[in-house]
Amino acid sequence: MNAPERHLDLPPLELDPLRAERRALDPTQVEAAIVSRRSVRAFRPDPVPRALLERLLAVAARAPSGTNTQPWKVYVLQGRARDALCEQVCAAHDAIRANPALAAEYQEPYDYYPSRWVSPYLDRRRENGWGLYGLLGIGKGDKDRMHAQHQRNFRFFDAPVGLMVTIDRVMGRGSLVDTGMFLQNLMIVARAHGLHTCPQAAWNHYARIILPHIGASDDELLVCGMALGWADEDAPVNRFVTPREPLERFVRWVE
């Protein structure tokens, strides 16, 4: 049984950039929303009010895009529609484990990861994976628990809201960049309202299931999914925080 919706008392939303620019910003609050964003992997069942979701999406849509194409499309999954998709994809995920040859039927629509891993990216990937599994007590050869943890993706980590984001296939690679900025906006404004998110490329392999379920056309490309809701702060998995490289590792000053 779902918990009752939280009471909303939101101030008027200002979407005019010129008017909004005149309002004083507290840089520490903006920074806190960015720095406190992390991929949460356990959520409470409390619903997110429709009015708040609409507000988040409206603010996120102020993201820049090349020649203002605004290529993103967003499908919001809740309730039975969300649950039905989770069951379908989890069943396919289990079927692939039982018969790995089936993986050929579930190809991601674009290469999110490289075909060949090299350092330092491979090192960071390994550190991320074993850091998470270590926190959960999942050993290197424990394939059953690895499978179960990976499948948590396909239940949106129990978040009450699942998002699927697409673009039209006719668009170029730059639209993926534009959509990434929209997603970042969404995650940051969600934090500003006390919510958490988890962007999920794991769903991409199951686009052939997802697109018809959400009513998307064959001309759309699934960019990613996202879990959104109120974090379960007592869940051990939510203590996992990924490190970041120091500036000297990725910044070059050219003068």
pLDDT (average), residues 72-91? 98
pLDDT score of 152: 97
Residues of the chain with pLDDT > 70, as a percent, come to 97
The residue type of 149 is: Q
pLDDT tens by residue, 227-240: 999 999 999 999 99
Residues of the chain with pLDDT > 90, as a percent, come to 89
pLDDT (average), residues 64-84? 98
Could you give the CA distance from residue 228 to residue 230 in angstroms, rounded to a whole number? 7
pLDDT score of 3: 43
CA angle 100, 105, 111 (to 5 degrees): 95
Q: What is the CA radius of gyration of the chain?
A: 19
Under 8 Å CB-to-CB from 185, ≥6 apart: which residues? 59, 60, 61, 62, 63
Q: Domains in the chain, ordered, with CATH?
A: 27-111+153-244 (3.40.109.10)
Under 8 Å CB-to-CB from 84, ≥6 apart: which residues? 213
Q: pLDDT band at residue 1, thresholds of 50, 70 and 90?
A: very low
pLDDT at 136 over 80: yes
Q: How many CB atoms lie within 10 A of CB 38?
A: 16
pLDDT at 8 over 80: no
pLDDT at 6 over 90: no
The torsion angles phi and psi of 77, rounded to 5 degrees, stand at -110, 125
SS3 15: coil
pLDDT at 5 over 50: no
CB 230 within 8 Å of CB 42: no
pLDDT (average), residues 137-143? 91
Q: pLDDT band at residue 7, thresholds of 50, 70 and 90?
A: low
pLDDT score of 14: 85
pLDDT tens by residue, 146-172: 999 999 999 999 999 999 999 999 999
pLDDT score of 70: 98
